[in-house]
Structure 1
Amino acid sequence: MKPEDKDYAITTDVKYGFQELIDIHEIQAGVRDDWYNETLCKVNDSVARLGVVKGEFHWHKHDNEDEFFLCIDGVFYVEIENGPTFELKPQQSVCVRRGVVHRTRAPERTTILMIASAGVVPTGD
């Protein structure tokens, strides 16, 4: 299945500017999609994104960008092709190096914070 055939709700427009309160709990409460990814803010040349997810994302890679994942609540898996699978519980994180094929999944509704270059395509290159 191609990424465009999946039911992802992904917003890459920056929602918050400098000195604006970002209420994660309020955002979580309003999410109705199984796979929701919203760009919160820009930090220098990177962006912080919030994911409220349940289910499985497709295998993909980012040729030129590293990607950081922090589990806020729930359980989040980051699978590396031909490598380990990281099980992230709240307060745990992992960084995936650029060019590494990976996929993510959450068996239950899970909230994550992601940090990557502003130009990263969330569905992969």
Structure 2
Amino acid sequence: MEIHVSPEAFPYLTRINVLYAFGEIIDIPALVVANSHPWYNQTLCEVNQSVVRLGVVQGEYHWHKHDAEDEFFYVVSGRFLIDLQDRVVDLSPGQAFVVHKGLLHRPRAPEKTVILMVEAKGIVPTGNT
């Protein structure tokens, strides 16, 4: 399944279909090279009741929260900022951060950045607000 939200509201390309089955090799560099959208999000695989997603991002996401799910962000390359109401989390390659459910946040990437996310399978990527 592919979600195309209104470019005026949310200019993102979010693909929630599972791209790889159990036992398949996941070629992340090939996906990064093949993508040109400024805010691309692809579900790679399922792990138990969660999914692993690839993000190739640059620019700003909108302020949002997830009422019932935590989000795990791991930076592969680039620089990833997570604005919280009281601080900014600044992540470099090899660093990770968990945004706790219900916490209002805004992800940003000042340069092309590759991230991996681990989230509940049913999470709505654009949030509950």
Alignment of structure 1 residues 64-75 onto 2, 5 Å: 64-75=68-79
Alignment equivalent of 1:53, drawn from 36, 57, 76: 57
Alignment equivalent of 2:123, drawn from 103, 120, 123: 120
Alignment of structure 1 residues 1-125 onto 2, 5 Å: 4=6, 5-81=9-85, 83-125=86-128
4+ residue runs of structure 1 moved beyond 6 angstroms?
none
Calculate percent identity across the aligned residue pairs: 48
TM-score w.r.t. the length of structure 1 is 0.95
Q: Tell me, what secondary structure is at the counterpart of 1:99? A: coil
Cα distance, 1:8 vs structure 2: 0.3
Q: Between Structure 1 and Structure 2, how many residues are aligned?
A: 122
TM-score w.r.t. the length of structure 2 is 0.92
Cα distance, 1:6 vs structure 2: 2.3
Cα distance, 1:13 vs structure 2: 0.9
Any unmatched runs of 5+ in structure 1?
none
* 1:31-89 deviation per Cα after TM superposition (whole angstroms, max 9, x unaligned): 110000000000000000000000000000000000000000000001112x2211000
Give the letter aligned to residue 80 of structure 2: F
RMSD (Å), alpha carbons = 0.9
* 1:76-116 deviation per Cα after TM superposition (whole angstroms, max 9, x unaligned): 001112x2211000000100000000010001100000001
